[in-house]
Amino acid sequence: MQLPDEHWMRQAIQIGETVRGKTGDNPHVGCVLVEKNQLLVKGLTHPPGQHHAEAHAIHQAQELGLDFSKLILYCTLEPCAFVGRTPACAKTISEVGIRHVVVGIRDPHPRVNGAGILIMRNAGVEVKEGLCVDEIRESLQDWLRRFEH
């Protein structure tokens, strides 16, 4: 039997897979926003300079007028921690009032690698990490290879 967190993370993996090869140099990340074990919003990574999966989900949730404090965000890869072509997703998550985040794996990018999780935890967000790790590593293997030494 699947636990709820695993179920939602697998949903996020499937969503990320729908944009495999369509995200430029960004990883094909999936994200879901859940309230009371009900899927409310799906987010996926867009090409460079456009929304990452988390920002895509947050934007949709804002349009729907959802109460972020009641939502759990599940994302396959740790939210980014730096401003580049887009704002830092970890900071955005913290600022909108999401209180619970479940991260599949840490982002090995040198400018992230735990920093996104730290930003969220320092802002009072409860972060659980390390869910469906093997499945996510398999899904993102081509992107992850960039950071192997």
pLDDT in tens, 90-141: 999 999 999 999 999 999 999 899 999 999 999 999 999 999 999 999 999 9
Residue 149's pLDDT is what? 64
Class of residue 11 by CB neighbours under 10 A (exposed 0-12, middle 13-18, buried 19+): middle
Do the beta carbons of residue 21 and residue 44 sit within 8 Å? no
- For the annotated catalytic residues, the residue numbers are 54
1 band by pLDDT with thresholds 50, 70 and 90: low
Sorted by where each starts, the structural domains of the chain and their CATH numbers stand as: 4-144 (3.40.140.10)
Mean pLDDT value of segment 8-33: 97
For residue 40, count other CB atoms closer than 10 A to its CB: 17
